[in-house]
Amino acid sequence: MYLKDYLEQYKDKKIKLFVDMDGVIADYIFGSAEDYDKKRPLYDSIKKLEEISKMSNVELYIFSATRYSIGFKQKQWWLDTYAPFFKKENRIIISREENNMTDSSTLKAQYLQNIKRDGSVLILIDDDPKNLKDVRNLNEDIVLLKDTVLVDDTAMKLQDVSVNRINEDILELRRNGASPKKVSDKYHTFEDYIDIRNLWFVAYCNERSDISGKSKKHYDEETDPMSNFNDDFIAWVNTPMGTVAQHLKMKYWDLLDVPEYERGPKYDGYTFEDSKKRIMSLFTKSK
């Protein structure tokens, strides 16, 4: 149900609507928290909130947190530029730096707990389940809504288009010689996910060094045009269904305590789906 329809049930009451900023009206996928001016506005959500700001019984608030106090100025500029209908006096931006770096979800929950209750219906829209959970623990009277309430059925149908746009942006980064490794989902970058995946792989190989190996050369390095490692090496696990190999950066070489071979295993044409099946075969318990 779209938010405007949802609010109709409270048409005879005063509503105080608190809207999170990051991930709700400002896209958290691209850019860093320190460069808030580069955050992409989520125009569909902003447009819907602007409509709601015109409802006579709704008082609209921005309800956001910032790690450092410098975020006040950056977020105010962003709101002035992309969502000026949020009144300046209704922009609540809490600094973690000024609160001993307390978690933002705790600060938000405590702030709402201390708001004077005047009979208004209090509603919070947030994209972070942890924020919603912590607010609920201290504020049973507040209506909690996920950011998806700003997306109507038509917008949902456009979700695939948005994903395609993100993929196109990532490809454009590569075409321009830039790395997408710093692209973030708000919590971690691609680089973070790759690093943790590689560390898990190294840890497993070390645990099962009897079926693992590493090499600085491909099996057919002299004839394979794709054999340029570019500061990589190859590591592998021999599963019950066949070999699964992976390229790793040299920074993992000394961490990988497995037998070293002159060359890696011969590629047998396995696909990504084959890799998953081979990895799953490692979970098979002997009877």
Which CATH number fits the domain that encloses residue 51? 3.40.50.1000
Please, what is the Cα angle at 66 between 63 and 67, to 5 degrees?
155
pLDDT at position 228: 54
- Predicted pLDDT of residue 147: 86
Runs of H (alpha helix) within the chain: 3-7, 43-53, 71-82, 104-113, 129-138, 153-157, 159-175, 190-207, 272-280
Match 């209704």 to its residue by tokens.
90
* For the chain, the helix, strand and coil percentages under 3-state DSSP, each to the nearest 5: 45, 20, 35
Please check whether residues 151 and 208 belong to one and the same domain. no
User: Which band of pLDDT confidence, cut at 50, 70 and 90, is reported for residue 251?
Assistant: very high
Tell me if 164 is assigned to some domain: no
Query: In this predicted model, what pLDDT tens digit does every residue of 67-107 receive, in sequence order?
Result: 888 888 999 999 999 999 999 999 999 999 999 999 999 99
| Structural domain ending residue among the three candidates 111, 139, 157 | 157
Number of domains comprising the chain: 2
Residue 177 lies inside a defined structural domain of this protein:
no
Q: pLDDT for 24-68, tens place per residue? A: 999 865 555 566 777 889 988 999 999 999 999 999 999 999 988
Of the residues 107, 135, 157, which one is the last residue of a structural domain? Answer: 157
Whether 223 and 138 map to the same domain: the answer is no
Distance CA 134, CA 229 (A): 47
Q: Is the same domain home to 13 and 131? A: yes
Give the domain extent around 57: 3-157
The vertex-137 CA angle with 134 and 138, nearest 5°, equals: 100
pLDDT digits (tens, 9 = 90+) for 104-117: 999 999 999 999 99
Q: Which residues contact 280 (CB under 8 A, 6 or more apart)?
A: none
Instruction: Give domain status of residue 166, yes or no.
Output: no
- From the list 12, 26, 11, the residue with the least C-alpha distance to 184 is 26
> Which tens digits make up the pLDDT trace of 197-250?
999 999 999 999 999 999 998 887 655 544 555 688 999 999 999 999 999 999
Residue 286 lies in a domain: no
On whether both 149 and 219 belong to a single domain, the answer is no
Q: Answer yes or no: is 175 within a domain.
A: no
Is 79 part of any domain?
yes
Structural domain contains residue 195: yes
65, 79 contact by CB (below 8 A): no
Q: Are residues 194 and 153 in the same domain?
A: no
User: CA–CA separation, 185 vs 240, rounded Å?
Assistant: 35
Query: Are 203 and 74 part of one and the same domain?
Result: no
Per-residue pLDDT at 279 exceeds 90: yes
Position 170 in a domain = no
What is the pTM for the complete model shown? 0.54
